[in-house]
Amino acid sequence: MAGLLTVLLNWRSAEMTLRAAESALLALDGIAGALVIVDNDSGDGSFEMMTTAVQKRGWDTGAQSVRVLQSGHNGGFGAGNNFGIRAGMPDGSAPEFIYILNSDAFPDRDAIRALLTHLQAHPATGFAGSFIYGDDGAPHRTAFRFPSIASEFEAQIRFGPVSRALNRWIVAQPIPQATCRVDWLAGASLMMRMAVLEQIGLFDERFFLYFEETDLCRRAALAGWPTDYVVESRVMHIGSASTGMREWQRIPGFWLDSRLHYFVKNHGVGYAYAATLALLAGGILWRARLLIQRKDRGDPPLYLTDLTLHAMRAAVSPVFGKPAAVAKSPRTTEG
């Protein structure tokens, strides 16, 4: 195995994806590898537009060979990235490292090399991710702890004394000032060791969107492959360009599905419902405070109602609690 495979997933944002590819190619200069753009069945002409653009710009014959592939099915973030990972290198070989980059993320010139250098220098580290900042220059919180019952309660109650008492369980960590170990990182700019994916499998495709990288990093950690946050790798991320998260008026079903699947898969049905009850308890106490304090609620309308109804429907579903198959890499399947 040799080389780095960069995977860029597109869904109805072809122009921005091409901008991200252009930034990635500048950052990949001098690094052996290839870049694959996966169109996640956009159905809006994205695939044709990007294919033509790649050929016109000569990217398909450049030092970093660029391919545009059609997944044929919008199975979500994990499924789309799995499609690109399975495609492998243009010559059919398997890469040594996989780098996934969001279509609305733009690496600084040395951002990708910093991740690659870190993994090469730390062979016991499985994944490495970047310092992420917005288009306004403000840093984003992308270093996290794994979710728990305590973190669900703390996140909803929004009360200083409780947060101090439960500090070690708060999911969103303060932005690290130096390279360090974390539980998991946002998947906007994440490099992975292919040997780890061959061992633990690829993204779980039951997560349509959200929690898929949390689950993947947890599986890697349990297998002895930790994740590191690399501050020297800087990536600008617009955020929510294709998901529309900033405009959510209600929590979408796929987010609720992903959250519940994460807890059930990793901790069991009982724990999942305890986490949901903790979230509801914290949310109710927070809303009680809002009766006397003029503060922003901080959640979309009917958030607690939607969460409760979703949990009740899931409880009577015939597939609830059944284990899901983890997508395997081609080498794992063949072996």
* Cβ proximity of 11 and 74 under 8 Å: yes
Calpha distance 49→80 (Å, rounded):
18
Domain locations in the chain as residue ranges: 4-146+172-243+326-334
Helices (H), 57-206: 77-87, 111-121, 149-157, 160-165, 194-200
Q: How confident is the model at residue 325, as a pLDDT?
A: 65
Q: How far is CA 37 from CA 24, 55, 75, 178, 204, in A?
A: 11, 13, 16, 32, 20
* Cβ proximity of 100 and 194 under 8 Å: no
Q: How confident is the model at residue 248, as a pLDDT?
A: 67
Query: Which architecture does CATH list for 4-146+172-243+326-334?
Result: Alpha-Beta Complex (3.90)
* Cβ proximity of 51 and 63 under 8 Å: no
* Cβ proximity of 117 and 228 under 8 Å: no
Average pLDDT over residues 37-66: 97
Strands, DSSP E only, in 164-238?
Answer: 180-182, 184-185, 189-193, 227-237
Determine phi and psi for 157, rounding to 5 degrees: -75, -30
In eight-state DSSP terms, residue 74 is -
How many contiguous H segments (helices) and E segments (strands) does the chain have? Answer: 12, 11
CA 33 to the chain's CA centroid: 22
- With 0-12 / 13-18 / 19 or more C-beta atoms within 10 angstroms meaning exposed / middle / buried, residue 276 is buried
User: Which residues, listed in sequence order, are joined to residue 105 by a DSSP beta bridge?
Assistant: 237
Q: How confident is the model at residue 318, as a pLDDT?
A: 73
* pLDDT per residue as tens digits for the range 81-137: 999 999 999 998 899 999 999 999 999 999 999 999 999 999 999 999 999 999 999
Query: Which of 87-96, 245-254, 304-313 has the lowest average pLDDT?
Result: 245-254
Calpha distance 50→196 (Å, rounded):
31
Supply the pTM of this predicted model: 0.93
